[in-house]
């Protein structure tokens, strides 16, 4: 006996038409001006549905676009400082850091050393430690302070 493939068919209204031969199902779909689309290939027998493929693709694309609209992308904002920053300037920078983190963005803190400031890297480390302590309640350190050339970098992410 020849093994003829059978499929479970669901029509365009969502009603189960039962199990039938694939060729027969394709003919019925064409009579209605639709395509036979395999919905669940792992089922036994596989489940197929009468669909208008163009309309199906359009709906899927609309769903994907709606999902993309509601998605929040996380930006990386950068705040630049110097090791001998004044207290008022520091407060202004920290206000910006807090604002960025509350908006859900990551913050990259760049500490630039110029000239002989490289000899006093401990000042930079102390400043970044102070920043870390000031934002401890709302942010966590994603990348701990590291030196890259004449800059010290640290990345903060919202908790």
CA distance 122 to 147: 11
In DSSP terms, 151 is beta-bridged to 112, 148
Evaluate if residue 1 carries a pLDDT over 50: no
Superfamily, domain 6-70 = Translation initiation factor 3 (IF-3), N-terminal domain (3.10.20.80)
Record: fold of 76-158: Translation Initiation Factor IF3 (3.30.110)
Residue intervals of the chain classified under CATH 3.10.20.80 are 6-70
Residue 33 preceded by cis peptide, ω within 30: no
- Which residues does 33 contact at the CB level (< 8 Å), separation at least 6? 52
Nearest Cα neighbor of 147 from 125, 115, 127 is: 125
Neighbouring CB atoms inside 10 A of 138's CB total 13
N-to-C CA span, the chain = 65
pTM (2 decimals)? Answer: 0.57
Sign of the CA dihedral running 91, 95, 96, 100: positive
Give me the percent of the chain exceeding a pLDDT of 70: 97
CA distance 42 to 93: 57
**DSSP label at residue 17:** E
pLDDT value of residue 51: 87
Q: Write out the two tokens for 52.
A: 């208008």
Assign 39 a pLDDT band (cuts: 50, 70, 90): confident
Evaluate if residue 8 carries a pLDDT over 70: yes
The average pLDDT across 26-54 equals 87
Evaluate if residue 4 carries a pLDDT over 80: no
Residues 118-134: tens digit of each pLDDT: 898 899 999 999 999 99
């Amino acid at each position: 006996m020849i093994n003829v493939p059978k499929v479970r068919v669901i029509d365009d209204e969502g009603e189960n038409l039962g199990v039938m031969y694939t060729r027969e199902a394709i003919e019925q779909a064409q009579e209605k001006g639709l395509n036979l689309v395999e919905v669940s290939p792992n089922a036994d027998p596989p489940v197929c549905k009468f669909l208008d493929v163009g309309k199906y693709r359009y709906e899927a694309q609309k769903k994907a676009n709606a999902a993309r609209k509601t998605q929040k992308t996380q930006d990386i904002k950068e705040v630049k400082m110097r090791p001998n920053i004044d207290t008022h300037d520091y407060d202004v920078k920290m206000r910006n850091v807090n604002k960025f983190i509350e908006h859900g963005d990551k913050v990259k803190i760049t500490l630039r050393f110029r000239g002989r400031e490289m000899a006093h890297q401990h000042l930079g480390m102390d400043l970044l430690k102070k920043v870390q302590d000031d934002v401890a309640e709302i942010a966590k350190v994603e990348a701990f302070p590291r030196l890259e050339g004449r800059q010290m970098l640290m990345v903060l992410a919202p908790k």
